[in-house]
Amino acid sequence: MDELTTEIVEQFVQKKLTSGKRDGRGGLSEKTVKDILAILKEICLYAAGLDVEIPCRFELIKIRRRDLEVQVLDGQNYKELVRFLFHDHHPRKTGILLSLYMGLRLGEVCALKRQHILYKEEILCIRSTMQRIQNLEEEGKRRTKVIVTDPKSSSSVRDIPIPSFLMERLEDFRRLPEDAYLLTGKTDRFIEPRTLEYTLKRYLQSCSMEYVNYHTLRHTFATRCMEEGFDAKSLSEILGHSNVNITLNRYVHSSMEQKRKNMGRLLPYKEFAS
């Protein structure tokens, strides 16, 4: 414990943020790392109560990701995936399209019900999310369980205008019971997030595309919107962010094609010579 310096804990935190997942596919979320650090801090406080001197100063440790390259579908892969998803009207393909064209989170898609589609107003209401959590209620039962809760924050509760081509697609669900889940058409059966993520993986394989995580769809949506001239405030509210800075700093990534287009707008020197 007396070797647990601030520098060592900082290195541990950064490692978790960049490569903390067991499958080797990236880092843990900031919230998860904060939870881990909180437990470590409690352990150190207990040790300090036993007169063990702890050199780590936890108040100096900041939980923030280093600038990492975030995956966004490039033009060719984007077209290939869209073509595959529009090939038929399978409900899971429709759910994935909602993320790709409206920026929905994985858990938000899984929690969608018929009542969340306002056909007359052409609006999709985001009112809940689905997630798998640890089951600490009873011993001897499954270690995790799926729950449907309010969205992650008040700003995540939002109404999103539905593009006309998706409205045509959502006509498939008009006759469902109000309380039916969109992905199954049933009131008593749902598709959980990790199942839909696995479905996306199979779809990508069918398109001969490399694996990308589900959240890449949301990043791709945000990037495409900015390239199409969306104002940052509108996009931030569509994505359900608490402020515009989150949208610009975390979710919007300019493609090489867009950078080339912007650079092409520069006027040559000879235009000013006269």
Pick one of 2.70.50.60, 3.40.50.300, 3.40.50.1370, 1.10.443.10 as the CATH number of 75-257: 1.10.443.10
Q: How much is the pLDDT for 199?
A: 97
Position 251 confidence tier, pLDDT thresholds 50, 70, 90: low
pTM of the model: 0.72
Minimum mean pLDDT range among 96-110, 146-160, 218-232, 241-255: 241-255
pLDDT per residue as tens digits for the range 90-146: 999 999 999 999 999 999 999 999 999 999 999 999 999 999 887 766 665 657 888
Tell me the backbone φ, ψ of residue 177, rounded to 5 degrees. Answer: -60, 145
pLDDT per residue as tens digits for the range 258-272: 677 777 777 676 555
Q: What is the mean pLDDT of residues 19-44?
A: 87
For the chain, which residues make up each domain, given as ranges? 6-60, 75-257
